[in-house]
Homo-oligomer: A and B are copies of this chain.
């Protein structure tokens, strides 16, 4: 798919298509299917403990000998903010009452742990072909240990400044995460979600700024988008939203139905975790404003929402659910992930042939 072999050679894969690691949506089944079709499988590890990571890696390796990417978060954990947590609960109290819930109710909320010495030891044990990071990079010593295993290091940049920083700090390839991307923005130097450039503007600027292979992420809905990313200078692409409707994806039936309906627009919101992420616009985002500056820190903003989400979902409503999706989600189809990967390759080739200047260079 195109003559650029930098990424396929770097990662040892057939097609320069990476499965985006989607915490909560991706797991071994999705990874195995993408690997089967020649793409790069990724496992999201930020919401797993060591046992969970070992289990998922083993599941993939039982099925395929393909290279594997493990993804971790690198956020600096913030101190608890009880006053903000209380204020957020108070703001949500009318919803608790509406659903007949005690406003003091607690429910399990997803945790997201940053990469640390224990996870680093796990990488040394499991020796994945690649490790990708979101929200920056781990400390210099941990990163050195990761690189010493021979793992290729990838990380997300949402600006040219972040890409330069990643290149200077030892990344082997940079993921240019355009504003269209679903889920959490990888922002680690940038602080304004409403000033994040989209892939079409970001990608060529990062390609010009760093000497590394650049992986395009965000807004790529099908093979035409892959061809476009290659035209912009990408060595490969990372797709997440395109895979959300695959049977191998772990999203809820309600999330699946909302994606299939393709009615809601997407927007960036920090209501669900405390950090900006792109998802389908729902009631909470409409009524509270999608981006607030008074929330408890990442990832604890989700705690107060957990009982609401649980109760509303039991009634078939997504009013309080994070429905992560990238802007191109209406192009996604319900399709097995291996077949989808093969379709993406075929469509990209078709698009490249369609716009090919031909032998005369006309």
Contacts and interface: CB of A to CB of B under 8 A. Distances in A.
Interface of A: 2-4, 159-160, 178-180, 192, 194-195, 197-202, 204-205, 218-222, 224-225, 227-233, 265-268, 281, 290, 326-328, 330-331, 349, 351-359, 361-362
A57 B311 CA distance: 64
Nearest to A190: B265
B200 A178 contact: yes
Nearest to A327: B201
A355 B357 contact: no
Contacts of A197: 180, 219, 265-266, 327-328
**Residue with the greatest number of chain B CB neighbours at <10 A, chosen from A4, A197, A202:** A197
Determine how many copies of this chain the complex contains.
Answer: 2
B199 A198 contact: yes
A323 to B, nearest CB: 14
A194 B331 contact: no
A361 B204 CA distance: 25
A330 B205 contact: yes
Nearest to A359: B359
Given A178-B200, A231-B351, 19 more contacts: A3-B355, A159-B265, A179-B198, A180-B197, A195-B265, A195-B281, A197-B266, A198-B198, A200-B327, A201-B221, A201-B328, A204-B328, A224-B231, A225-B232, A227-B231, A227-B355, A231-B352, A352-B357, A356-B357
A-B pairs, top 10 by smallest CB distance, nearest first, are A200-B219, A198-B198, A201-B327, A228-B228, A227-B231, A195-B265, A201-B328, A228-B231, A197-B327, A356-B356
A200 B221 CA distance: 8
B352 A200 contact: no
A351 B361 CA distance: 12
22 contacts: A2-B355, A3-B362, A4-B355, A180-B197, A180-B200, A192-B265, A197-B219, A200-B200, A200-B225, A201-B326, A201-B327, A201-B331, A204-B224, A204-B331, A205-B328, A205-B331, A224-B233, A230-B355, A231-B351, A232-B351, A356-B356, A359-B359
B229 A201 contact: no
Contacts of A192: 265, 267
A356 B219 CA distance: 22
A224 B219 contact: no
Nearest to A200: B219
A232 B200 CA distance: 11
A337 to B, nearest CB: 21
A218 B222 CA distance: 20
Contacts of A178: 198, 200
A353 B179 CA distance: 28
